[in-house]
């Protein structure tokens, strides 16, 4: 390899400084662009890879972050930040044992580094907890958490002034009362919360993996993307587009929880409407409706804080039964992530997919939850480290093979709340504006008319919420990265 000239090294430093400025402004796309330019000028400097890895982490491109951090370490075994970055990527992917190895390396190099020691200890706790849970698990005859819930033993205290189920059922009045109660930052009684979870689990267990939805010709239908625990923005969607009802149906396309710190409020509102209008309200599973994501990004911590770990386990059982995608009028397929690493996948293959489990690391279920579109043709390894990236030719072949018009997916922050790609054949919708209170993006939802199925986009800005920061309940490790 030819040595980098001094001029090129100087140019690379200019690009790095520019990238740092964009990073400080939380414009991570631009930061990545300029770190990449620095690497083009001088590919021998591990710091550029380490910095770009950090920007990729902020963009949730964990696969790319892992690749860059590994490259930086290969170039300089003593580059400590490289190990930090790689550990962060491993943690985000749920690969805790790999993360622990990197933290161990940092601690050995910097035995007096309190921050490194703290991260190592926290990661070690997670690994030990996983090993303990594995040791006590009985796979053959594991009792359902739902079966162990005794609602009759739960007493409604006299001082409880919140919404109440009527004869154990969700009603329109209950939903209106619930949303107002949540806006006032109050908590639904645990007896009603458990009843909703038990009822919704019973409902979802009877649903197919791929749900066919019929939209009458003259009817409006709304598709929403990620909500991510942003309850007050969810309320704004209902304000702008109307409350769910038989004449105003909705599909929420996964990632209802995590990141935002009002996930409990979001999920019970959505589950409540699903029970109230089962034939006019739909929910798809996202990659964040899983144990690994919930452990890291806040939902598990929030459930434990507001209710109990037992309820967290019940949520896991419910999430395992969420449908993986919906087919609208036999023309539009809606899934959280995207398409597949094989051209042979059909709608029948999706229907036959076993979903009552945690998402696997490959295959149809994994890719429905994790994949992303890319501008160029063909396929590429996922920028997230899970799923695949698929090009416009892949999308067209899938649609042609399955007699569909286009796909709608979510899963990615977009500046305008939505993005039309692959020549109009792939639409991304993301409904959490100013994601994590930092991204500055708009939120969006899609209105469809049954006869034309032509998408109309409504965008909106974030609204104010109470002073509880996103990730308030997240695993402490995620807040420690520097």
pLDDT of residue 479: 55
Q: Is 288 among the residues known to form the active site? A: yes
pLDDT of residue 481: 46
Evaluate if residue 14 carries a pLDDT over 90. Answer: yes
pLDDT of residue 26: 86
CA-closest candidate to residue 265, choices 388, 347, 179, 143: 179
End-to-end CA, the chain: 33
Average pLDDT over residues 135-162: 83
Residue by residue, DSSP assigns 307-353 as: S-HHHHHHHHHHHTTS-SEEEETTTEEEESS---S-TT--HHHHHT-
pTM of the full structure: 0.92
Average pLDDT over residues 149-168: 95
Return d(Cα 306, Cα 329) in angstroms, integer. 40
Whole-number percent of the chain with pLDDT over 90:
85
Evaluate if residue 138 carries a pLDDT over 70. Answer: no
Evaluate if residue 296 carries a pLDDT over 90. Answer: no
**What would the pLDDT profile of 332-382 be if each residue is shown by its tens digit?**
999 999 999 999 999 999 999 999 999 999 999 999 999 999 999 999 999
Q: Kindly give, in sequence order, each residue whose CB lies less than 8 Å from that of residue 401, ignoring residues fewer than 6 positions away.
A: 343, 346
Average pLDDT over residues 47-70: 94
> At 150, is the pLDDT very low, low, confident or very high (cuts 50, 70, 90)?
very high
Token pair of 1, please?
């390899």
Edge-to-edge strand ranges of the sheet holding 379-381? 372-373, 388-390, 379-381
For the chain, give the mean pLDDT. Answer: 94
Domains, the chain, with CATH or none: 6-136 (1.25.40.10), 151-479 (3.60.21.10)
The catalytically annotated residue of 288, 411, 422, 465 is 288
Evaluate if residue 2 carries a pLDDT over 80. Answer: no
Evaluate if residue 74 carries a pLDDT over 80. Answer: yes
457 or 477: which leads in pLDDT: 457
pLDDT of residue 477: 66
For residue 179, the SS3 value is helix
Least confident interval from 137-141, 331-335, 395-399, 436-440:
137-141
pLDDT of residue 116: 83
Average pLDDT over residues 91-102: 89
pLDDT of residue 142: 66
Evaluate if residue 136 carries a pLDDT over 70. Answer: no
Q: Kindly give, in sequence order, each residue whose CB lies less than 8 Å from that of residue 246, ignoring residues fewer than 6 positions away.
A: 277, 279, 280
State phi, psi for 466 to the nearest 5 degrees: -55, 155
pLDDT of residue 93: 85
pLDDT of residue 91: 86
Evaluate if residue 133 carries a pLDDT over 80. Answer: no
For residue 167, the SS3 value is coil
pLDDT of residue 143: 81
Average pLDDT over residues 258-263: 96
Average pLDDT over residues 292-320: 95
pLDDT of residue 140: 40
């Amino acid at each position: 390899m030819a040595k980098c000239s001094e001029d090129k090294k100087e140019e690379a430093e200019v690009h790095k400084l520019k990238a740092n400025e964009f990073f400080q402004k939380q414009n991570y796309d631009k930061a990545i662009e300029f770190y990449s330019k620095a690497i083009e000028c001088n590919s021998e400097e591990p710091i550029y890879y380490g910095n770009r890895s950090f920007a990729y982490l902020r963009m949730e491109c964990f696969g790319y972050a892992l690749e860059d951090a590994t490259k930086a370490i290969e170039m300089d075994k003593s580059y400590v930040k490289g190990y930090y970055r790689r550990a962060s990527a491993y943690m985000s992917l749920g690969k805790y044992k790999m993360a622990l190895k990197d933290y161990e390396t940092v601690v050995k190099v910097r035995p007096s580094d309190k921050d490194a020691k703290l991260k190592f200890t926290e990661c070690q706790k997670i690994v030990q907890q996983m090993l303990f849970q594995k040791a006590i698990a009985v796979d053959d005859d594991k009792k359902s958490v739902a079966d162990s819930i005794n609602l009759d033993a739960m007493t409604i205290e006299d001082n409880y002034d919140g919404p109440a189920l009527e004869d154990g059922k969700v009603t329109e009045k209950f939903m209106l009362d619930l949303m107002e109660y949540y806006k006032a930052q109050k908590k639904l009684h645990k007896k009603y919360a458990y009843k909703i979870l038990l009822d919704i689990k019973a409902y979802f267990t009877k649903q197919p993996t791929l749900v066919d939805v019929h939209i009458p010709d003259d009817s409006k239908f709304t598709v929403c993307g990620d909500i991510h625990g942003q309850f007050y923005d969810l309320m704004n969607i209902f304000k702008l587009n109307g409350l769910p009802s038989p004449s105003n149906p909705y599909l929420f396309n996964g990632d209802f929880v995590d990141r935002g710190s009002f996930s409990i409020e979001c999920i019970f509102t959505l589950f409540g409407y699903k029970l109230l209008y089962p034939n006019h309200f739909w929910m798809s599973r996202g990659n964040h409706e899983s144990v690994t994501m919930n452990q890291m990004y806040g939902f598990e911590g929030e459930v434990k804080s507001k209710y109990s770990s037992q309820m967290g386990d019940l949520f896991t059982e419910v999430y395992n039964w969420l449908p993986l995608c919906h087919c609208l009028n036999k023309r539009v397929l809606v899934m959280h992530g995207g398409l597949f690493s094989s051209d042979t996948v059909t709608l029948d293959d999706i229907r036959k997919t076993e979903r009552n489990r945690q998402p696997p690391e490959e295959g149809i279920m994994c890719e429905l939850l994790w994949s992303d579109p890319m501008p160029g043709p063909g396929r590429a390894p996922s920028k997230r480290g899970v799923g695949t990236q698929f090009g416009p030719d892949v999308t067209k072949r899938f649609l042609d093979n399955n007699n569909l018009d286009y796909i709608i997916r979510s899963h990615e922050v977009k500046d305008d709340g939505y993005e039309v790609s692959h020549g109009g054949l792939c639409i991304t919708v993301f409904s959490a504006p100013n994601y994590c209170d930092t991204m500055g993006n708009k939120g969006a939802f899609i209105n469809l008319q049954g006869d034309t199925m032509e998408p109309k986009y409504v965008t909106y800005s974030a609204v104010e919420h109470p002073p509880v920061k996103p990730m308030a309940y997240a695993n402490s490790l995620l807040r420690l990265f520097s």
